[in-house]
Amino acid sequence: MHESLYTESVTYPSAAGMVRGYLAAPDGAGPFPALIVIHEWTGLIPYVEDVTRRLARQGYLALAPDLYSEDPVRAELSLDDMETATELGHAPDVEAFLETLPEERRGGVRRAHEWRQARTGARYIPDLQATLAYLQKRPDVVSGRVGTIGFCMGGRLAGTLATTGADLAAAVIFYGPIPSLDGVPSVRCPMEGHYGGDDPSVTRRVPELEAAMKAAGKPFTAYVYEGAPHGFHNDTRPSYTPAAAELSWQRALAFVDRHVRAGVGA
């Protein structure tokens, strides 16, 4: 466990523009094994930065790219409005839901909802590929020892990045919808998934990914946590489920230690 950390904001180019990111690493010159931390739909929020620091304490250079780096609308949205927009997205009547909110909040929540609905995601994979390339070129990163871990939207993107044939050492998915199965034969790393038993819209399709990975001869282990909802690892939300969060985290750490840290000195 590394108690002394170094953190900084970094910027690097992507085919789609410039990417900002939050980097955390143990103090010292390294080199370190590295992990790309991929955020939920709400973006590079304090919870994601905290996860990045947790991984740095485990001896990794961890980098969380902001996949909304050049999005001026996202920059103006508050996290509270975005969280409420998640609820709005599940409401049968948008206007009726908005009427339940204080008048001063309705405009912000509506903007967050409309922004969420309008996203295309066209930059996500190019920016993640640029993040991987950036880490691979850093002198404080061990060559060939970069993995990824993603949550919700980021979980799907972790799987999707792997299906592009990216040179990853491992990919960990936390309750992310499964990636396109067409890309499974291109996966070059072992994958692990963590899913909530009370998250049927995501978890019900996990067997499809398991079957596709098995048919392609790709290692994939999926864990389902009974009674855990979507977002069970996020300790800033009501969905946080301590037992599932702790067990899944220990499993994920063991997995990346085995596949990303393997052969790297302490």
Over the range 53-75, which residues count as b (16 or more CB within 10 Å of their CB) and which as e?
Answer: bebbebbbbbbbbbbbbebeebe
Nearest to 68 by CA among 154, 180, 8: 154
Ordered by start, the domain boundaries in the chain are 5-67+127-259, 76-118
pLDDT at 266: 47
> Scanning the structure block, which residue is given the tokens 């009427």?
99
Taking phi first (over 0 means left), then psi (-120 to 50 degrees means alpha), and beta for anything else, what does residue 121 get? left
Instruction: Going residue by residue through the chain, which has 266 residues, state the pLDDT in tens, using 9 for 90 and above.
Output: 777 899 999 999 999 899 999 999 999 888 999 999 999 999 999 999 999 999 999 999 999 999 999 999 999 999 999 999 988 988 999 999 999 999 999 999 999 999 999 988 999 999 999 999 999 999 999 999 999 999 999 999 999 999 999 999 999 999 999 999 999 999 999 999 999 999 999 999 999 999 999 999 999 999 999 999 999 999 999 999 999 999 999 999 999 999 999 866 54
Nearest to 171 by CA among 232, 112, 256: 256
From residue 126, give the alpha-carbon distance in Å to each of 19, 72, 121, 166, 179.
10, 19, 10, 11, 16
CB distance 26 to 55 below 8 Å: no
Longest dimension (CA), the chain: 58
Which residues, listed in sequence order, are joined to residue 148 by a DSSP beta bridge? 36, 171
Residue 140 burial class via C-beta count within 10 angstroms: exposed 0-12, middle 13-18, buried 19 and up: middle
pTM, two decimals, is: 0.95
Q: What is the CATH number of domain 5-67+127-259?
A: 3.40.50.1820
The sheet with strand 32-38 has its strands ordered as: 5-14, 17-26, 61-65, 32-38, 141-151, 171-174, 191-198, 220-229
Say which residues have a Cβ less than 8 Å from residue 103's Cβ, sequence separation at least 6. Answer: none
